[in-house]
Amino acid sequence: MRPFAYLSAETPKSAIAASTADTQFLAGGTTLIDLMKLEVMQPERLIDINPLHARYGRIERTAEGLRLGALVRMAEAADDPVLRGEYPVLAQALNFAASPQLRNMATLGGNVLQRTRCNYFRDPSYRACNKREPGSGCAAIAGLNRKHAVLGVSERCIATYAGDFAQALIALDASVDVTGPKGERRLRFDQLHRLPAESPHLETTLAQGELITAFSVPGGPWTRRSLYLKIRDRESFAFALASAAVALDVENGEVNDARIGLGGVATVPWRAREAEQILKGKVLTQATAQAAAEAAFARAQSRAHNAYKPELGRRTLVRALMTAAALEI
Amino acid sequence: MADGTVDRRGFLSATAVAAASGLVPRTATAQTSKDPELPTAGKLPVALSVNGREHQVVVDPRRTLLDLLRDDLGLTGAKKGCDHGQCGACTVLVGGKRVLACLTLAAGVREAVTTIEGLASVDGTLHPMQEAFIQEDAFQCGYCTPGQILSAIACVREKHANSEQEIREYMSGNICRCAAYPNIVKAIARAKFRTEA
């Protein structure tokens, strides 16, 4: 690990004021310390924001739905009775991620900002990685890319967004509260992450010194009929090869509203709006679910080793939709 | 180390010195901050409670809780397996919750730490979970065992040990290369039953 200065922030103001271009905020540290050991990330300064827990560590019901503080630990949210009962897709996405120890450490804010698990990104002995070193190329495109993305890819980067919780948030139309040098602002969750396009190293729309403080999740008739289905190489403690976050509002068999997030297959948390449109107003059957899944992956681009992903992704989505439709709530 | 012989521990520390002296130039000493407004960042005083004992240590900001326990305090029960949060051998309790000491910076520890060395009573009576691991033969080489036991204690406390399937899921963060899993699951079920009885 490279040397760095460690500071502990007692107020949001001091955290923001101390933030420089080479600063990282430290919350759970489960991604950051790992990548610092690998020398993939080399911040000169860490600002420990854990002392802000009293301010940003609560789960609250609000008039519009739920408000989840950014410093809530994954395990705490996953075990929360309101999330489990009324927003199961959120609780499941958290609970199917990582391990119990990591879930005790990692925070919700840090979770959505976790970096990709692309092996070329994580190993600096490979020179080419546009995410790590802008302009250096992409070793994955012609390399081993079994776990890489098929949606939202560019000629510069095909690294998969590794998280699960973000797919649930994007499906539920969550928003993100941010505080920073210019004050507080709120953005839609689907505006937080950037597609790799020409600049894979720019992963979010957060400005320097901006800190996520909370996620707001609107309630609705679809939140109870929701689930997260995650397909992995092993049954637990593994990243998704494909996953689907689905939430349905179904009345007399007909779909009033459908919200779909896809994971393990895309470079960013992915909202499958084309698939949602196909389902609206239809009776959910194997055939309509299949049509939605076809639409979701219509623009998939696979490489040498991940050609299985569009089909795995379609089957994952179909199974998730059919299971959600059959839930007794 | 006895004269003229090289034991494993002595060999390893000698190798580490050699590596630090020439082969790994990146492991520089801690820097002091260039920013005059910041406190000197080279060394940080850390006060922490481990197994009921208070310790005052001055650490490099890079010091992980795992290295502090093993190298500064001599508590070598917590093991370094992968050092990247993937194996669970370094699991300890902080504030009663199971965490990975290898991904925890020592400077950020604000609550009491419990390691495997802190489980037995002063008279040597083992913790029911340690007892259960012996009775069920829940280890072979033993390297992952301290992490398994602390994780298992937390698993029961979290109320995630209600069935074999649930124990397996909630122990997935502790890898055992000897694959003692069936007996680990039995030990946890036994200890849970004993604590509740």
Which CATH number do you get for residue B66?
A: 3.10.20.30
Domain containing B163 equals: 128-196
Q: Which of B118, B137, B168 is the last residue of a domain?
A: B118
Tell me which residues of chain A have a C-beta less than 8 Å from any C-beta of chain B.
Answer: 1-8, 18, 26, 29-30, 33-34, 37-39, 45-46, 48, 50, 75, 79, 98-102, 104-105, 236-237
Smallest CA–CA distance, residue B68 to chain A, in Å, is: 15
Task: Give the nearest partner residue to A3 out of B62, B85, B170, using CB atoms.
Answer: B62
Whether residue B1 lies inside any domain: the answer is no
Whether residue B55 lies inside any domain: the answer is yes
pLDDT at residue B197, as a whole number: 73
**Residues B171 and B105 occupy one common structural domain:** no
Using a CB-CB cut-off of 8 Å, the residues of chain A touching B170 are: 100
CATH number at residue B178: 1.10.150.120
Segment (H or E) for B16: helix B8-18
**Residues B110 and B149 occupy one common structural domain:** no
* Residue B107 to residue A50, Cβ atoms within 8 A: no
- CA-nearest of A261, A263, A232 to A245 is A261
Whether residue B21 lies inside any domain: the answer is no
pLDDT at residue A329, as a whole number: 86
**Residues B63 and B95 occupy one common structural domain:** yes
Residue B41 pLDDT class (50, 70, 90 cuts):
low
CATH number at residue A245: 3.30.390.50
Whether residue B53 lies inside any domain: the answer is yes
**Residues B191 and B164 occupy one common structural domain:** yes
* Residue A37 to residue B84, Cβ atoms within 8 A: yes
Whether residue B149 lies inside any domain: the answer is yes
* Residue B62 to residue A101, Cβ atoms within 8 A: no
Whether residue A68 lies inside any domain: the answer is no
Render pLDDT for B60-118 as a digit per residue (tens, 0 to 9).
999 999 999 999 999 999 999 999 999 999 999 999 999 999 999 999 999 999 999 99
Using a CB-CB cut-off of 8 Å, the residues of chain A touching B98 are: 100-101, 104
Q: For an interface test with B, which of A1, A2, A4, A6 has the most B Cβ atoms less than 10 Å from its Cβ? A: A6
pLDDT at B24 over 90: no
Using a CB-CB cut-off of 8 Å, the residues of chain A touching B31 are: 3-5
Our count of domains for chain A comes to 2
Q: Which of B60, B90, B118 is the last residue of a domain?
A: B118
Whether residue A137 lies inside any domain: the answer is no
- Please give the Cα distance from A304 to A135 (Å, whole number): 23
Please provide the DSSP assignment of A126-183 as one string.
S--BTTTSTTS-BTTTTS--TT--SBS-BTTB-PPP--SHHHHHHHTT-EEEEEETTE
Whether residue B18 lies inside any domain: the answer is no
pLDDT at B25 over 60: no
pLDDT at residue B36, as a whole number: 41
C-alpha B80: how far from chain center: 7
Whether residue B133 lies inside any domain: the answer is yes
Our count of domains for chain B comes to 2
Whether residue B182 lies inside any domain: the answer is yes
CA nearest A96 in B: which residue?
Answer: B169
pLDDT at residue B196, as a whole number: 82
CATH number at residue A15: 3.30.43.10
Residue B53: which residues within 8 A CB-CB, separation 6 or more? Answer: none
**Residues B132 and B110 occupy one common structural domain:** no
Size of interface A-B (CB pairs under 8 A): 103
pLDDT at residue A241, as a whole number: 98
Using a CB-CB cut-off of 8 Å, the residues of chain A touching B33 are: 5, 45
Q: Which of B88, B118, B148 is the last residue of a domain?
A: B118
Beta strands A175-180; A59-61: pairing state: unpaired
pLDDT at residue B195, as a whole number: 83
Q: Is the ipTM of this complex over 0.90?
A: yes
Whether residue A87 lies inside any domain: the answer is no
Number of H helices and number of E strands within chain A? 13, 12
pLDDT at residue B26, as a whole number: 27
Domain containing A278 equals: 226-326
Give first-to-last CA distance, chain B, whole Å. Answer: 48
Q: Cα B64–B101–B67 angle (5° rounding)? A: 40
Strands (E), chain A: 5-8, 23-26, 45-48, 59-61, 65-69, 175-180, 183-188, 211-218, 226-231, 242-251, 254-263, 270-271
Whether residue A106 lies inside any domain: the answer is no
Whether residue A265 lies inside any domain: the answer is yes
Low-confidence ranges of chain A (pLDDT < 50): none
The pTM of this model reads 0.92
**Residues B107 and B137 occupy one common structural domain:** no
